[in-house]
Amino acid sequence: MLASHADGGSECNKSMTVTAHQLQNDSWYLADKRFCWNRCAGEMLDDITLPTNRSRHSIRALLLPLICGSFGCFRDSQGDTSLSLVARTSVSRFGIRHYCRGSNTEGEVANFVETEQIVCVQQRYLSSFVMVRGSVPLKWSQPLRGLSWNQKISFNSSGNISSTRRHFAKLVSHYGIVKVVDLLSSRGEEGMLKQAFLRSVSLLPPSNHPSAHVQYFHFDLHEEMTNSNTAALEKLASWTKAESSDLGQFMFVSGREESGCQMNLQNGVFRVNCKDCLDRTNLVQRIIACSVLQQQLHAVAIIDSDFSKRCKEAHRVLWADHGDRISSQYVGTLALRRDLTRTGNRTLGGLLQDAKTALNRYFRAKFLDGSAQDSLDLWTTGYLPGMEDAPLRSARFE
Chain segment 240-295, per-residue pLDDT in tens:
888 998 899 999 888 655 555 778 899 999 999 999 999 899 999 999 999 999 88
- In the three-class reduction of DSSP (H, G, I as helix; E, B as strand; rest coil), residue 216 is classed as strand
Q: Would 394 be classed as within a structural domain?
A: no
**Rounded distance between C-alpha atoms, residue 367 and residue 89, angstroms:** 25
First-to-last alpha carbon distance for the chain, in angstroms, is 28
User: pLDDT band for position 301 (50/70/90)?
Assistant: confident
**Residue 152: DSSP 8-state:** P
Quote the Cα angle for 220-226-227, to 5°.
160
58 and 193 share a domain? no
pLDDT more than 70, % of the chain: 80
Q: Would 145 be classed as within a structural domain?
A: yes
Strands (E), 16-96: 69-75, 81-89
pLDDT more than 90, % of the chain: 36
- In the three-class reduction of DSSP (H, G, I as helix; E, B as strand; rest coil), residue 84 is classed as strand
Q: What's the whole-number mean pLDDT along residues 190-197?
A: 94
H helical segments located in 31-149: 39-48, 53-62
Q: Would 202 be classed as within a structural domain?
A: yes
Instruction: Report the pLDDT value the prediction gives residue 160, as an integer from 0 to 100.
Output: 78
Instruction: Report the pLDDT value the prediction gives residue 384, as an integer from 0 to 100.
Output: 58
Query: Is the separation of the CB atoms in 310 and 346 below 8 Å?
Result: no
125 and 211 share a domain? yes
- Looking at this protein, which amino acid is placed at residue 124? R
Count other Cβ atoms within 10 Å, centred on residue 350.
Answer: 19
Instruction: Report the pLDDT value the prediction gives residue 1, as an integer from 0 to 100.
Output: 36
Query: Does the pLDDT of residue 12 top 50, yes or no?
Result: no
Give the global pTM: 0.83
Tell me, rounded to whole angstroms, the distance of Cα 371 from its chain centroid. 25
Q: Would 47 be classed as within a structural domain?
A: yes
**Rounded distance between C-alpha atoms, residue 377 and residue 383, angstroms:** 8
Query: What are the pLDDT digits (tens) for 371-396?
Result: 777 777 777 775 655 555 545 544 45
Q: Would 398 be classed as within a structural domain?
A: no
Give the number of domains in the chain.
Answer: 2
Q: Which of residues 21, 45, 67 is at a domain's end?
A: 67
- In the three-class reduction of DSSP (H, G, I as helix; E, B as strand; rest coil), residue 237 is classed as helix
**Rounded distance between C-alpha atoms, residue 196 and residue 238, angstroms:** 28
Comparing CA positions, the residue from 248, 159, 174, 176 lying closest to residue 212 is 176
Q: Which of residues 44, 67, 90 is at a domain's end?
A: 67
128 strand-pairing partners: 118, 250
130 strand-pairing partners: 116
131 and 177 share a domain? yes
**Rounded distance between C-alpha atoms, residue 288 and residue 291, angstroms:** 5
116 and 60 share a domain? no
Query: Is the separation of the CB atoms in 153 and 136 below 8 Å?
Result: no
36 and 128 share a domain? no
Contacts with 134 (C-beta within 8 Å, 6 or more apart), sequence order: 90, 109, 110, 111, 112, 113, 271, 273, 277
Query: Does the pLDDT of residue 362 top 70, yes or no?
Result: yes
Comparing CA positions, the residue from 153, 143, 135, 137 lying closest to residue 105 is 137
Query: Does the pLDDT of residue 367 top 60, yes or no?
Result: yes
Count other Cβ atoms within 10 Å, centred on residue 385.
Answer: 6
Q: Would 392 be classed as within a structural domain?
A: no
Instruction: Report the pLDDT value the prediction gives residue 64, as an integer from 0 to 100.
Output: 86
Q: Which of residues 14, 37, 67 is at a domain's end?
A: 67
Q: Which helix (H) or strand (E) holds 374?
A: helix 369-381
**Residue 309: DSSP 8-state:** H
Task: Return the minimum-mean-pLDDT range out of 188-197, 243-252, 353-362.
Answer: 353-362
Instruction: Report the pLDDT value the prediction gives residue 22, as an integer from 0 to 100.
Output: 47
Query: What are the pLDDT digits (tens) for 163-182?
Result: 999 999 999 999 999 999 99
Comparing CA positions, the residue from 336, 376, 330 lying closest to residue 142 is 330
Q: What's the whole-number mean pLDDT along residues 100-106?
A: 91
Q: Would 111 be classed as within a structural domain?
A: yes
Q: Would 318 be classed as within a structural domain?
A: yes
**Rounded distance between C-alpha atoms, residue 225 and residue 233, angstroms:** 8
Query: Per 3-state DSSP, what percentage of the chain is helix, strand, and coil (rounded to 5)?
Result: 50, 15, 35
202 and 314 share a domain? yes
181 and 59 share a domain? no
Print the domain residue range for 180: 71-385
Q: Which helix (H) or strand (E) holds 125?
A: strand 125-133
Q: What's the whole-number mean pLDDT along residues 358-372?
A: 74
**Residue 111: DSSP 8-state:** T
